[in-house]
Amino acid sequence: MTLYRRLREKTWKILSTGSSGGRHAGTSTVVSASIFALILLNVIATILGTVDRIKAQYGAVLRVFEIFSVLVFTVEYVLRVWSCVESEEYNGAITGRFKFVRSFYAVIDLAAIAPFYVSFGLDLRFARVLRLLRVFRLVKAARYFSALRMFGEVVRRKREEITVSLALLGMLTVVTSSLMYYAERAAQPEVFSSIPDAIWWSVVTVTTVGYGNATPVTVLGQMLGGLVAVLGTGMGALPAGFLASGFSDALEGGSVEGRKEASKEDSSAQVTAQNAHPGDIQYCPHCGSMLHHLNNGENTDGRRGARGEATDQA
């Protein structure tokens, strides 16, 4: 293996969180912790940058820190694209890298640095909007948390159920807002002046937020509002129920895998105990406690040897 190939393989093992092992494990942990800390500091800096007093006093410092962070994130992204071909999943100099840049985390990494480069030469107001997208760098932290990775896996597995439930919520919102518009437009033309205005009422009612700035006053409108509130309580709980079911399945799957591994280890210990000489077993393969037969056997053998020597001498 050439020096170039070894360097690329080492880079991939260090940057691939959770997959590096052996001598690269310590370096991978340090790199992951440093990038994660930089992500959190970036989000904090973005939030503080919206405070006029802090921006006026420390604006230059925040700007330098942003440039430094973008450079680090850019180098990280380039190194990941360069070294990803060392993974079996992204094998291939061109096709492998193209597949990698379309992966979820690669898209997030690109979205974290793109606003900085795109904002140059644009209108100041539009550039400010793009720079606010820097808060999405927090999504990069999902790479370093197994719980967040599990959440993404649950959403991926339950995407069909969640999509159906959201589609039903959308249909309920459009239908009820249209009915409410025709029921209330004569009594409250300033509140329900159009179906989009009624959609806002339907959204806050279905989600049980209830801001109260749009309230039906007619009998038909109040009956419809009560029906929407009841339906919204059940329909709004559907996505949460699917997510809870997905988490339960994921946790149960993890516990099953753990029990399988424990069963394999126990079976292996039993086979070892059956094949081993009794005098070679020092610990119980079931409870792990130390066995005393070895010492007793040694003492018994010692006594037998002493008696044999005495008999020979006699």
Render pLDDT for 198-251 as a digit per residue (tens, 0 to 9).
888 888 888 777 666 778 889 999 999 888 888 888 887 888 888 888 888 888
Same domain, 17 and 107: yes
C-alpha pair distances (Å), 289 with each of 267, 274, 281, 284, 293: 18, 17, 11, 5, 12
Q: What is the pLDDT of residue 84?
A: 92
Which one of 87, 114, 144 terminates a domain? 144
290 confidence band (pLDDT: 50, 70, 90): low
- Considering the domain boundaries, does residue 77 fall inside one? yes
Q: Using an 8 Å Cβ cutoff, are 215 and 187 in contact?
A: no
298 confidence band (pLDDT: 50, 70, 90): very low
Same domain, 114 and 226: no
**Domain count across the chain:** 3
C-alpha pair distances (Å), 311 with each of 18, 178, 298, 300, 308: 67, 111, 20, 17, 5
Same domain, 118 and 221: no
Same domain, 81 and 55: yes
| Residues 6 or more apart whose Cβ sits within 8 Å of residue 142 | 105, 108, 148, 149, 151, 152
Which one of 144, 175, 190 terminates a domain? 144
- Considering the domain boundaries, does residue 150 fall inside one? no
Q: What is the pLDDT of residue 256?
A: 46
Give the best-scoring range by mean pLDDT among 1-10, 58-67, 284-293. Answer: 58-67
Residue 18 pLDDT greater than 70, yes or no: no
CATH of the domain at 95: 1.20.120.350
70-79, 91-100, 138-147, 285-294, range with the lowest pLDDT: 285-294
Residue 55's Cα: distance from chain center in Å? 32
72-81, 247-256, 272-281, range with the lowest pLDDT: 272-281
Same domain, 12 and 38: yes
Residue 79 pLDDT greater than 80, yes or no: yes
Tokens in use for 21? 């092992």
Q: How far is 249 from 20, CA to CA, in rounded Å?
A: 27
Query: Tokens 């007619």 map to which residue?
Result: 218
Q: Using an 8 Å Cβ cutoff, are 205 and 157 in contact?
A: no
Same domain, 134 and 230: no
- Considering the domain boundaries, does residue 214 fall inside one? yes
Give the best-scoring range by mean pLDDT among 47-51, 139-143, 147-151, 310-314. Answer: 47-51
Choice between 118 and 100, residue whose per-residue pLDDT is larger: 100
Q: Where are the alpha helices (DSSP H) in the chain?
A: 3-15, 25-48, 52-83, 95-101, 104-118, 124-132, 146-157, 159-184, 195-206, 219-275, 293-313
What backbone phi and psi angles, to 5 degrees, belong to 283? Answer: -130, 145
What average pLDDT does the segment 177-197 reach? 89
61 confidence band (pLDDT: 50, 70, 90): very high
By residue range, what is the domain housing residue 121?
A: 3-144
291 confidence band (pLDDT: 50, 70, 90): low
What is the pLDDT of the chain when averaged over all its residues? 77
- Considering the domain boundaries, does residue 153 fall inside one? no
